[in-house]
Chains A and B, each alone.
Chain A
């Protein structure tokens, strides 16, 4: 299988694309392919990885112009001409502009996750993304006590999808608003704000809603829902942002 991979030794912009021919084995993922390239063809290729099981969120990147986790993307599902591969993402330049010579039908295109500064090859600077968690103070202000709090299964269920977020930043990298506006806090942080607001146990839930409604938050979202389509864990951040917008 042919791979065309974005390269950037010094960061900032993609300097060129390198092509590699990967030997495909059953069950192989894009992450496996990247390791094969690093091990056997080009040890200078840089990309992040850790769990290889779609739980750690390290390997978010743009694969065939769709933001995905490399470890979760089976090679066998790429290049299939069927509806399953269509995500109907709202386009913005990084999702549309393809390098010269790329042949979408038989060549896997791997590029860094959009909307974050490029550091090297497929490694992007996640600081801006992580900082949103601190800006919104996305943690519980602990109250003193020695017992656990009760929570009904129904109350727990309200936050079920949201607590599955792995902070991989695929939503951030797929969002047309994040593409245009560096200040926008983005889908993951806002969804997590709603997670704390809607958790029956949170001591002072209103601060989460108030901050999420701030000028860099939910008001900037246009409910485009790319985030919902690309989320690898079914978190549906856009749904949470809609609730933030509607909440008083």
Chain B
């Protein structure tokens, strides 16, 4: 069966839903998603969404903080769009019903966040993503948008220089179907699960990046992986930056507020890359606890504030660490959190393949450069969702459907591939490879990097990719074959792990979240550039650097 829609959106998190809502007015749009929309990772975002709403704040200040936070690698024209549109975007979602937290006089409350010189982070307690996603999904239901829920996209299909459709596995039946479309928007989120210690949902496997790469689109800035400073020791569940925004302190084993040493002015509210490195440094110097973590202390905020502003954090601590942050400090360590890199696209989401767009964490426009500020990722999804949708609408005005044979051929190829994968009875378990990949990325491509470590990582990942060709999933069923889905996700992650490592190896400087112990300085003369990765037909990955769009904010040393 071949299905047909004008525009297909892959992914039903905030970016995908917001794009689909925009499209639903004027065109036949459908959303394909591997989980029900409400299970998307946007739901896990905690701290907030930034907007310069106050008279004393301005989009320019928001833009400056974002660009400085990005270590000047963000494209300044795109940041301008992000920050200018922020207020109307937050207002729109409020009018859709999101239950934002309020000030005493009923205005939208805003809290301080890392790297921001003004408290401009709007929030709904510490469940902002949850509230925004449920509200946005409600509006998607209101529009009657067609969802293909629990369908896993197996390939994108192109015809010459344009996109013509995709193939997808219907998880409930195990069947692969072709879809013909005039335009496709990829909104599949990040690839955090390449790492073991990650705040990300288990589904964040970078499928969209891998799909796009395989048909010739480029990836950008993949070495810039954000490590969130405060993830819960043990499970690495996120402990929001809002906990520090509300006044929480970071303490080492000597009960010292060690951020004094690293960011004397901003202290705990320095940007994430700086705080994450500081925590690692303290642990390295023997001032960690059990050599593994430090304490995030919010006890002094008091029971009332913790219950009203950080109820989710309290739930998480009680459920997953068996402690109550009202009485005890929270054990935290840095963990992978966000993918600054992604599919190379312009400010409208357009990639090098006509009709193929990307938006949100899976894309790299780039608004976050080398380090994203907290509160800017939820914002990115809702600002650029409609912009990318409009660009897709304009594109399809002059585009036609390709013949369905183009997707049918690829569907046939994918069926054969999966069939072969499922029936192979001898070989290593994908689980072994998955574990080794995660361990390698955690240990060798983490907060601090070096040539030696990265070269070892690259050898290991390449070896894993070879071994992947001979794995055996073991006996499974055709319907709801999650072992197969997880194996396909692993294949995607291995490809991305190689590229992340290559990018980290190539970039012999330290900038934002990418820190090379052997090149501890930022080097603007060589590396004030975006890295670009393209998969060649030979299977080799071509790497190059392209210019950053600079603007009114002068590139300076970054101090907090």
Contact = CB atoms under 8 A, between A and B. Distances in A.
Interface of A: 9-11, 26-27, 38-40, 43-44, 46-58, 72, 74, 119-121, 123, 126, 130, 133-134, 137-143, 145-153, 155-156, 159-160, 163-167, 196, 199, 201-202, 233
Contact of B124 (A43, A146, A163): A163
* Residue picked from B95, B201, B316, B473, most chain A C-beta under 10 Å: B95
B138 A159 contact: no
Interface in B306-324: 312, 315-316, 319-322
B44 A51 contact: yes
* Residue picked from B125, B482, B483, most chain A C-beta under 10 Å: B482
Given A39-B431, A53-B201, A54-B316, 20 more contacts: A27-B234, A27-B235, A43-B476, A47-B482, A50-B35, A51-B39, A51-B41, A52-B202, A52-B235, A55-B44, A55-B130, A58-B39, A126-B36, A146-B88, A148-B94, A150-B102, A150-B105, A160-B99, A164-B127, A202-B97
Contacts of A137: 142
A51 B38 CA distance: 11
A199 B39 contact: no
19 contacts: A40-B429, A43-B483, A46-B480, A52-B202, A52-B235, A55-B312, A57-B38, A120-B477, A120-B480, A139-B138, A140-B95, A142-B95, A148-B95, A149-B95, A152-B104, A153-B101, A163-B131, A163-B134, A167-B38
A40 B431 contact: yes
B101 A54 contact: no
Nearest to B124: A163
B119 interface: no
B429 to A, nearest CB: 7
B181 interface: no
A235 B156 CA distance: 41
Contacts of A53: 44, 201, 235, 237-238, 316, 320
A134 B137 CA distance: 11
Given A43-B476, A50-B201, A57 B131 contact: no
B43 A55 contact: yes
Contacts of B172: 119
Nearest to A36: B431
Nearest to A72: B319
B477 A9 contact: yes
A148 B108 contact: yes
Across chains A and B, which 3 residue pairs bring their CB atoms closest together, nearest first?
A139-B138, A150-B106, A43-B483
A104 B221 CA distance: 53
Contacts of B35: 48, 50, 56, 58
A166 B36 contact: no
B91 interface: yes
A246 to B, nearest CB: 23
A56 B94 contact: no
Contacts of B39: 48, 50-51, 56-58
Nearest to B483: A43
Contacts of A120: 477, 479-480
A110 B100 CA distance: 37
A119 B90 CA distance: 39
Contacts of B102: 150-153, 156
B474 interface: yes
Contacts of B316: 53-54
B157 to A, nearest CB: 27
Contacts of B94: 148-149
B202 A44 contact: no
Given A53-B320, A150-B106, A166-B130, A139 B97 contact: yes
B97 A54 contact: no
B480 A38 contact: no
Contact of B96 (A133, A140, A147, A150): A140
B97 A199 contact: yes
Contacts of B43: 51, 55-56, 166
B475 interface: yes
A220 B106 CA distance: 37
A148 B138 contact: no
A239 B483 CA distance: 40
Contacts of A159: 99
B96 A142 contact: yes
B141 interface: yes
Contacts of A49: 202-203
Given A50-B203, A148-B90, A151-B106, A139 B475 contact: no
Contacts of A201: 97
B475 A133 contact: no
A246 B203 CA distance: 43
Contacts of A57: 38-39
Given A151-B106, A152-B102, A156-B99, A54 B319 contact: yes
Contacts of A38: 482-483
B97 A140 contact: yes
B99 A145 contact: no
B481 interface: yes
A40 B119 CA distance: 48
Nearest to A56: B39
B253 interface: no
